[in-house]
C-alpha cells in the first residue's frame, strides 16, 4: 500500500503523536508498505524533502510561526499532487487535519482519522472545543474510518459529534518492552520524573508545588521536569520562589535520543503526569514499558488506564499536600505487578487491518 500520514509536525520535532507516527511507520515499511509523512515546518529550518529510516518526509510552510492553530495551504497541494491508497490524518486539533480532510474529500481519496486528543492551557481555547467539533463534524463523518486511542476518547467524540459509536475503532498507543534497559540502569528510589511539554495543562507546576512538603519528610527526594515549551520560565520562577533550586531540575531532552531518554526515565522511582486531560499518553506508556510506577490525575484516559490496573491516580483537584502524600505513598510502595501492555507491533497490526478494510470496501 501507498500510505500518506498527515500531521502538523514530525521528526526532529517530537511529542506523543510524532512518536506514534514514527513507531507505526517504521513497522509498516518493514511489512513492505510505502509511507510518506506530510508535515509542516514553521521554522523554515528543516529539509522540505528527505527520507529518514525509510520514511519519505515532505514538509510545507505554515503560518503564523508563533501559534499552534497555523494555516498551511501547502497541505492541499501535496495531497492533490499524488494518489494514495489511504490518507491517514493524525490528530484533529490544528487546521492541518482540517485542510487534509477537506483536500482528501475534494480529490476523492480515502481518508482515515485518528483523533489523538489532548488538553490545552488556555481556558478560552478549551471553551471553543464544542464549536470546533461542530465545524469539523461534517468532514469527520465522511472519513472512511475513525480511530480513538482510548474508550473515553471514543465516547467523547461519538457523543460530541453525533457519530454512532460503532463507526470508531479502538487502537491504543503502543509501549516498547524496555525491561532490558530498565534492568541495566540503577533505579534511584528518591527520583521523581514529570515529563511532557511545558504547558500549564500538563500539571508540572502541581508536582513542583508539592515538593516543599515532600522534602520536609523526605529531604533526599529530587524532581526532574523534562520537556520544553512556553511555561518553562514560569516553572523556573516557581522553583526559585519556593527555594527548590537544590532539589528540582527543569531541562529539555534531544527527542532523537530515544535510548538516552529511556535510560533517564528508567532511573526514576516514580513517573508523575498530573495533566488536566490526556487521551492515551505515549509518555506514560513508555514509563510503563520500563516497569516504572506511574501516578496521574483521575481524569480522561488516565481513569481508563487505572481501571486496567496499569497506573495509580489521584483526584484532579488535589491540593499540594494531597499531591505530596500521594507521591510519597507511591515512592514507598513496592513496584507494581507486571502488566501486559499493547505493543507498537499490536498497534501497527490493528492499523493494517483497518487499512485493508477501508481499501476493500
- Least confident piece of the model among 131-140, 195-204, 205-214, 224-233: 131-140
User: pLDDT band for position 71 (50/70/90)?
Assistant: confident
Alpha helices in 62-203 (DSSP H): 74-81, 95-106, 123-127, 129-141, 151-161, 179-184
pLDDT at 14 over 50: yes
Q: Report the SS3 class of residue 318.
A: coil
User: pLDDT band for position 121 (50/70/90)?
Assistant: very low
Return the bridge partners of 271, or none: 193, 294
pLDDT at 170 over 70: yes
Report, as an integer, the average pLDDT of 221-226.
98
State residue 259's pLDDT score: 84
User: pLDDT band for position 337 (50/70/90)?
Assistant: low
pLDDT at 336 over 80: no
Q: Read off the pTM.
A: 0.82
Mean pLDDT, all residues of the chain: 90
Domain 2-174+343-360 is of which CATH architecture? 3-Layer(aba) Sandwich (3.40)
Report, as an integer, the average pLDDT of 268-286.
91
pLDDT at 124 over 80: no
**Tens digit of pLDDT for each residue in 252-267?**
988 778 788 889 999 9
- Residues of each domain in the chain carrying CATH 3.40.50.2000: 2-174+343-360, 179-332
Check whether domain 179-332 has CATH 3.40.50.2000, yes or no: yes
User: pLDDT band for position 68 (50/70/90)?
Assistant: low
User: pLDDT band for position 183 (50/70/90)?
Assistant: confident
Residue 104 has phi, psi (to 5 degrees) of -60, -45
Higher pLDDT: 335 or 191? It is: 191
Terminus-to-terminus CA distance in the chain, angstroms?
15
* Total H helices, total E strands in the chain: 14, 14
Amino acid at each position: 500500500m501507498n500510505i500518506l500520514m498527515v500531521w502538523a509536525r514530525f521528526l526532529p520535532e517530537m511529542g506523543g503523536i510524532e512518536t506514534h507516527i514514527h513507531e507505526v511507520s517504521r513497522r509498516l515499511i518493514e511489512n513492505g508498505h510505502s509511507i510518506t509523512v506530510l508535515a509542516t515546518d514553521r521554522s523554515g529550518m528543516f529539509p522540505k524533502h528527505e527520507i529518514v529510516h525509510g520514511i519519505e518526509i515532505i514538509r510545507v510552510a505554515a503560518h503564523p510561526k508563533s501559534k499552534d492553530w497555523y494555516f498551511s495551504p501547502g497541505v492541499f497541494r501535496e495531497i492533490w499532487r499524488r494518489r494514495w491508497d489511504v490518507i491517514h490524518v493524525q490528530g484533529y486539533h490544528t487546521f492541518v487535519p482540517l485542510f487534509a480532510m477537506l483536500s482528501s474529500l475534494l480529490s476523492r481519496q480515502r481518508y482515515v482519522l485518528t483523533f489523538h486528543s489532548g488538553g490545552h492551557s488556555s481556558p478560552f481555547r478549551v471553551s471553543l472545543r464544542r464549536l470546533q467539533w461542530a465545524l469539523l463534524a461534517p468532514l469527520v463523518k465522511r472519513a472512511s474510518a475513525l480511530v480513538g486511542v482510548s474508550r473515553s476518547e471514543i465516547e467523547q467524540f461519538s457523543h460530541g459529534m453525533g457519530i454512532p459509536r460503532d463507526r470508531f475503532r479502538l487502537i491504543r498507543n503502543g509501549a516498547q518492552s524496555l525491561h532490558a534497559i530498565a534492568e541495566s540502569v540503577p533505579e534511584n528510589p528518591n527520583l521523581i520524573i514529570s515529563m511532557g511539554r511545558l504547558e500549564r495543562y500538563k500539571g508540572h507546576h502541581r508536582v513542583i508545588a508539592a515538593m516543599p512538603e515532600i522534602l520536609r519528610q523526605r529531604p533526599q527526594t529530587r524532581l526532574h521536569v523534562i520537556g520544553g515549551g512556553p511555561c518553562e520560565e514560569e516553572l523556573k520562577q516557581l522553583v526559585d520562589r519556593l527555594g527548590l533550586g537544590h532539589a528540582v531540575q527543569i531541562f529539555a531532552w534531544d527527542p532523537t535520543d530515544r535510548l538516552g531518554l529511556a535510560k533517564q526515565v528508567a532511573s526514576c522511582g516514580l513517573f508523575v503526569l498530573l495533566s488536566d486531560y490526556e487521551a492515551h499518553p505515549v509518555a506514560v506508556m513508555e514509563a510503563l514499558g520500563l516497569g516504572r510506577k506511574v501516578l496521574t490525575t483521575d481524569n480522561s484516559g488516565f481513569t481508563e488506564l487505572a481501571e486496567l490496573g496499569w497506573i495509580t491516580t489521584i483526584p484532579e483537584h488535589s491540593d499540594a499536600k494531597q499531591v505530596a502524600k500521594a507521591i510519597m505513598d507511591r515512592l514507598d510502595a513496592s513496584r507494581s505487578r507486571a502488566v501486559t501492555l499493547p505493543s507498537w507491533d499490536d498497534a501497527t497490526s490493528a492499523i493494517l487491518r483497518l487499512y485493508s478494510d477501508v481499501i476493500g470496501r
